[in-house]
Amino acid sequence: MPPRWRKILYESQGVADNYVDDSFLQEMRKNVNTKTYPLNILMFHSGVVSQQISCVVLFASAFAYTDSKQLDPTHLFLLTAVMSTLSYAILIALDSSLLKINRLIADVQTAFLFVAALYTLSPVLRTLTETISTDTTYAMTTVMLLIHLLFHNYGVDSSVVSNAVSLNAAIFASVCLASRLPSSWHVFVTVLFAVHLFAHGPVVRHRLKVTWPWLDYLITYLLAIVCLFAIWWLSLSLTVLLMFLYLAVGFVCPIWFYKWQSLKNNIYGPWDEATIQD
């Protein structure tokens, strides 16, 4: 009787190196450690995507209204100041360590220096795209905002996620658009509004989501309603497209993902790389 075949390579057994016997597939396992998600959880976490889309729409709407002189930049500045102050107050309420006097003074100084630097550079920013056509500027802005949405951190660990790339792309887009406005004051206010939307806003919304998950639904729907009303006065066709986009992100895509989870079929077996187990 020939000796029993063993799964080793350091000894000749009279067979090819890629030979396996009938017991090889007995160790095969399917969908090991595969995690499935309920539909309500998928819809809940899709809200952060809708919120970031809303931020992009709000910024584009603010530019359109400011460019057409339907929105006074001073009013936009006051709105930004109120939202920034309220956001910082929320962060303090959620994190008592921010309430220290030294920390408050440092944060106020940082904010003042940033605002002063931005106001000083506004005349320079206004002239950045003077030699570039308006169509090219709009195209660059669109690409940068798409990059911002693609690389934004939606709470999922992925190699695509990059907060630096996402934020830089959004700020670059805001500078491109702001440079088409008529005055340095317009540029200053528009970029400041963009910084609040794309840098400060996501941090506050994430903290609120962690502390009060139910509040995330309210924020998602509130931002969507505001954006739809803002776009309504600019273009009815864009309003319809935005509505379908919200429906796709918030309902259609989660439902598809939920149904497609049953199609997962990952196989594991003796052909996998060896892993060290504690």
DSSP per-residue letters across 169-195: HHHHHHHHHHTTSSSHHHHHHHHHHHH
Q: For the chain, how many structural domains are there in total?
A: 1
Q: Is residue 216 part of a domain?
A: no
Q: Is residue 191 part of a domain?
A: yes
Nearest to 141 by CA among 189, 186, 190: 190
The pLDDT score that the predictor gives to residue 276 is 66
Q: Is residue 66 part of a domain?
A: yes
Q: Which domain holds residue 78?
A: 52-202
The pLDDT score that the predictor gives to residue 274 is 60
The whole-model pTM stands at 0.83
The number of residues in the chain equals 278
Give yes or no for a contact between 201 and 55, defined as CB atoms under 8 angstroms apart: yes
For the chain, what percentages of helix, strand and coil (3-state, to nearest 5) are there? 70, 0, 30
Q: Is residue 149 part of a domain?
A: yes
Mean per-residue pLDDT pooled into runs of 10, the chain (278 residues): 70 75 71 78 91 95 93 94 91 80 86 93 88 90 94 81 91 92 93 93 90 90 94 92 95 90 72 63
Q: Is residue 249 part of a domain?
A: no
Q: Is residue 58 part of a domain?
A: yes
Q: Is residue 101 part of a domain?
A: yes
Please name the residue ranges forming H helices in 71-100.
73-94
The pLDDT score that the predictor gives to residue 271 is 65
